[in-house]
A and B are shown apart, each in its own frame.
Chain A
Amino acid sequence: MTQKEYWRWDEKCWKDESMDSSDTKIISVGIDIGSVSSEAVICLDGKFYASNTVRTGSNSPTSAKDALKPLLEHAEISYEAVDFIVGTGYGRVNIPFQDKAVTEIACHGRGANYMVGPSLRTILDMGGQDCKAIHIDERGKVTNFLMNDKCAAGTGRGMETIADLLKVPITEIGDRSFQINAPAEPISNVCVVFAKSEAMAMVKSGKTLNEVLASYCKAMADRVTQLLDRIGMEKEFFITGGISKNRGVTERIEENLGIKAVKPKDERLDAQTAGALGAALFGFVLASKKGSKKDTRKGQIL
């Protein structure tokens, strides 16, 4: 079995050219180590400045370094000048140079609040190996959350398994799932193992691949809608994570809820970096309250 690429992102550094780091009081960094991608974000006095996304490598320390080092170079900020580094994501406990680890739930809440604004209430984060539903208040503080990383249904892995089975490139699933003549009935099995058998049976009974894909997208949308019900769905609503790039799922979620998902108010911001951005914002607050950690990292090299 070989590891397949299932979501591709641009692996590049980005910075806001209109900002200047020279007269900044607090430089904070957030690093989000996910199962598929890792992100680093730099904030200047609590304002988003620069970001980088890389594929997660074999271990968390390497991934964190791979994300941060080129970003600092691109942003022309020295490692020693960074006041506070916050790590998040499933690999957060293993980032050697962080000053504090914060859960991805809290970071997503804060990052999404920054991207969308104080009216944002609900965040759905659908990643490669987990799915989170988060309810936040007007300041981005989490008021209700759940995270499912036990079951592959409702995650990128579940979608990848079906894509593998039907031999359809994962990036085509969204569009193809709408190339059907009648609305799709959802696949009835939640469990991905059993859903695979159900999908095969559908193919054998004469359904087209697009119809089967539509049925799986619909099933996944129904499942995450159920997760949202548990935390109390409220407007406005924002989708992040890999599956946010699959319209076969996102548009069916919007249909279930009867509302459209919002986009970041600054279109240059990528929803993918919400977690790392939230971490950097936590770093800013912590540095303001508890002081810079510059000196404690003295002598350490990245």
Chain B
Amino acid sequence: MIANYGYMDGSGEYYITIDTDKCAECRGKMCVTACPKALFERVTDDYDDDVVKIADGKVKDIRYQCMECKPPGHPVLPCIAACTPMALKHSW
């Protein structure tokens, strides 16, 4: 499953996309500890897969949560670097 967490508002589109098929294969789930804002949460999803999702309360201001990790110059994001199965993407 491709899970898009985030939103589109007047200022733009902000989604973190998780490919849960790849994510479920990953044992470490290193993104959970890598994110300085603790956005990721390990859960068993509706189809009984062991995956991560973006914590419910944090989806609505994901753009602001992620801002400090996104200074100009496009450095590699800690969550992306930590995701060994390459299941994570940011849309912005």
Which of A103, A143, A150 has the largest number of chain B CB atoms within 10 A?
Answer: A150
CB distance from A188 to the nearest CB of B (A): 10
Choose among A141, A153, A191, A230 the residue that contacts B47 (Cβ–Cβ < 8 A): A141
- Overall SS of chain B's interface: strand
Residue of B nearest to A143 (CB): B1
Q: Which residues of B contact A135 (CB under 8 A)?
A: 2
**B46 pairs with A146, CB closer than 8 A:** no
With A102-B46, A230-B15 in contact, is A191–B9 under 8 Å at CB? yes
Q: Which residues of B contact A148 (CB under 8 A)?
A: 7-8
Residue of A nearest to B13 (CB): A230
The docked-state distance in angstroms from the alpha carbon of A2 to that of B39 is 36
Tell me, yes or no, whether B4 is within 8 Å of chain A by CB: yes
Q: Which residues of A contact B59 (CB under 8 A)?
A: 149-150
Q: Which residues of B contact A194 (CB under 8 A)?
A: 10
The docked-state distance in angstroms from the alpha carbon of A103 to that of B3 is 12
Tell me, yes or no, whether A231 is within 8 Å of chain B by CB: yes
CB distance from A138 to the nearest CB of B (A): 15
Using a CB–CB cutoff of 8 Å, the interface residues on chain A facing chain B are 102-103, 105-106, 135, 141-151, 153, 189-191, 194, 223, 226-227, 230-231, 282
Using a CB–CB cutoff of 8 Å, the interface residues on chain B facing chain A are 1-10, 13, 15, 45-47, 59-61
Q: Can you show 12 pairs from A to B with CB atoms below 8 A apart?
A: A102-B46, A103-B45, A106-B47, A144-B1, A144-B3, A146-B4, A146-B15, A151-B8, A223-B8, A226-B8, A230-B4, A230-B13
Q: Which 3 A-B pairs have the closest CB atoms?
A: A191-B10, A146-B4, A106-B46
